[in-house]
Amino acid sequence: MYATCRICSGSVKGTIDLGSHPRGNAFPKPGETADEFFYPLVVGMCDSCTMVQLMADIPQEVRYHDSYPYYASGSSVHRGHFEGIAQGFLDTELTGPDPFIAEIGSNDGVMLAKIAQAGVRHLGIEPSRHVAELSMAKGVRVHSVFFDEHSARPIRAEHGPADVIFGANVIAHIAHLASVLKGVKHLLGPRGIFVFEEPYLGSVVEQTAFDLLYDEHSFVFSVRAIQAAAEMYGLELVDAQLVAIHGGSMRYTLSQPGAREVTPGVGELLAAEAAQRLAEHSTLEAFAGRAERIRDDLSALLGSLHAQGKRIAGYGAPAKTTTVTNYCGIGPDIVPFVSDSTPSKQGRLIAGSHIPVVPPEVFAADYPDYALLFAWNHAEEIIAKERAFSERGGRWILYVPDVHVI
């Protein structure tokens, strides 16, 4: 299976085939599952620029909808992380006269609220009106539009060049990334930086985090592919740093060519990627094989526990839960509910597998024997919070990087 690269128009070879999947964040209501949208979840790498990407084109009207339930502020770890990023920008980049920062996909304003409090000129660019309204309530200025080469022009005309453009867990979602990079090139000031952090291919491969693959992740970035993409669209990768969030992300910094010194971290990470053979199709093929083994091991474990009469609940309903339950064939017969604290997901179903999402009170009211931890990237925070579950003999099932019980 081949597709055309969204960055360089080269040839993308599909190597990771997880089968037919619904949208990760669809969360249909009971009784609304008859016309679920399914697409082939196949991911491959471009032969030319090495960008790893989703093969299928998901129609934009299907991808973004008003009930999009992801809120960046939801986790206290995330909140602290983004406030730290804002403070970092205030200390180092937004120190000149009348600085300006723009955020692509500003979500509920978790990062920009701190910038707004400091009285610094800012603009959130958030196409989802519903979450944009939440950030406006925090005093954040928001423009409800898709960021691309066209919308960047009136933004620059009105606000001037940006000292910082930021994006977190959004840039890899945007299928029209080429147009975004053209927009950044236009909006970014001569000394400005474009900083974004996204799940990192090296971490995804290392942990066999196959559940990070779903419809919204149009790309899984590597340092090498971002360096190539930046160069293609008149920008330069000047820094890359691993960040321990979402199970392993990379923070990339781009600037206008020659505007900033390239840090040694870039070369070091490129060398590490070469050693990991990250740009080889065989690495993704091996990943697909390991994902199959996890699927088989997890199905066998859950089947055996179920046969013993053990009660199993799901814990956490991020979009990842949709990939895992559909790929591994886990349904409400084995896992009767998933506990999640996001009100907008409660009372709904995991798409495709149709496991009901319930509030955490249901989990706590009658602890199951086992909890299948879908939100494994928050394992430490969750296991500490749910100490009472462990103390009563409850066990956690994790499946990344392999199936294990703790």
Given the rule CB under 5 A, which residues bind Zn ion?
A: 5, 7-8, 10, 46, 48-49, 51
Which residue in 365, 362, 363 sits closest to 396, CA to CA?
A: 363
Task: Work out the burial of residue 286: count CB atoms within 10 Å of its CB; fewer than 13 is exposed, 13-18 middle, 19 or more buried.
Answer: middle
Q: How far is the CB of 187 from Zn ion (least distance, A)?
A: 24
Alpha-carbon span 178 to 358, nearest angstrom = 39
Q: How far is the CB of 49 from Zn ion (least distance, A)?
A: 3
Alpha-carbon span 195 to 93, nearest angstrom = 11
Q: Which is nearer to Zn ion, 178 or 312 (CB)?
A: 178
Q: How far is the CB of 37 from Zn ion (least distance, A)?
A: 27
In 50-90, DSSP assigns E strands to: 52-54
Q: Which is nearer to Zn ion, 49 or 254 (CB)?
A: 49
8 Å CB contact between 345 and 69: yes
Q: Which is nearer to Zn ion, 5 or 102 (CB)?
A: 5
Q: How far is the CB of 7 from Zn ion (least distance, A)?
A: 5
Q: Which is nearer to Zn ion, 234 or 289 (CB)?
A: 234
Q: Which is nearer to Zn ion, 49 or 357 (CB)?
A: 49
Q: How far is the CB of 58 from Zn ion (least distance, A)?
A: 19
Alpha-carbon span 342 to 360, nearest angstrom = 9
Q: Helix (H, G, I), strand (E, B), or coil: what is residue 208? A: coil
Q: Helix (H, G, I), strand (E, B), or coil: what is residue 102? A: strand
Q: How far is the CB of 279 from Zn ion (least distance, A)?
A: 11
Helices (H), 233-346: 264-275, 281-307, 319-328
Q: Which is nearer to Zn ion, 4 or 304 (CB)?
A: 4
Q: How far is the CB of 20 from Zn ion (least distance, A)?
A: 25
Alpha-carbon span 5 to 89, nearest angstrom = 33
Q: How far is the CB of 87 from Zn ion (least distance, A)?
A: 36
Q: Which is nearer to Zn ion, 232 or 271 (CB)?
A: 232
Q: How far is CA 211 from the centre of its chain?
A: 11
8 Å CB contact between 47 and 11: yes
One-letter amino acid for residue 132 of the chain = A
Alpha-carbon span 57 to 39, nearest angstrom = 9
Instruction: Compute φ and ψ for 405, nearest 5 degrees.
Output: -115, 130
Distances (CA, A) of 342 to 27, 215, 245, 338, 357: 12, 21, 19, 11, 9
Q: Which is nearer to Zn ion, 5 or 86 (CB)?
A: 5
Largest CA distance in the chain: 68
Q: How far is the CB of 130 from Zn ion (least distance, A)?
A: 34
Q: Which is nearer to Zn ion, 49 or 400 (CB)?
A: 49
8 Å CB contact between 325 and 353: yes
